[in-house]
Amino acid sequence: MLVNKRLAAALKRYAAANPRHCAKPDAALIYSAKGGGFSAQTIVNLFATLYAAAGITGASSHSGRRQFVTGLADKGINPRVIQILCRHKSLQTTSLYIDAGEGKLRKAIEMVA
């Protein structure tokens, strides 16, 4: 799995501080209060809680993914690279995640002029 250097360093610190959690490659990274791994729904709920705490309304775990993809595209990352990072089978699926709002369209027009 590819992760950036800052996340890799944080994961190493976490693994060192929690050896029981990281003993097996397929073990859950973070355990719930009940001792098991988190379900996909638990992660969705966690994102909802984090967005609410930050005062962000109308966001979801999926919109965070969409923002990540759009941010990569805005930085000029090759669409094929973005597709691989998203684990999409089709580049067409990846393109659906990239926001192309009016502000971006105007900016593109100004770049040509």
Please name the residues in contact with 82: beta carbons below 8 A apart, sequence gap of 6 or more.
69, 72, 73, 94, 98
* Domain limits, the chain: 1-29, 61-102
**Predicted pLDDT of residue 113:** 58
**Predicted pLDDT of residue 8:** 92
Ranges of residues in the chain with a pLDDT under 50 are none
Burial class (CB in 10 A: 0-12, 13-18, 19+), 85: middle
Q: What is the DSSP string of 17-53?
A: H-TTTTSSTTS-SSB-TTSSBPPHHHHHHHHHHHHHH
User: Does the model's pTM come out above 0.75?
Assistant: no
Q: pLDDT tens across 4-30, in order?
A: 999 999 988 988 887 776 777 777 777
d(CA 71, CA 82): 10
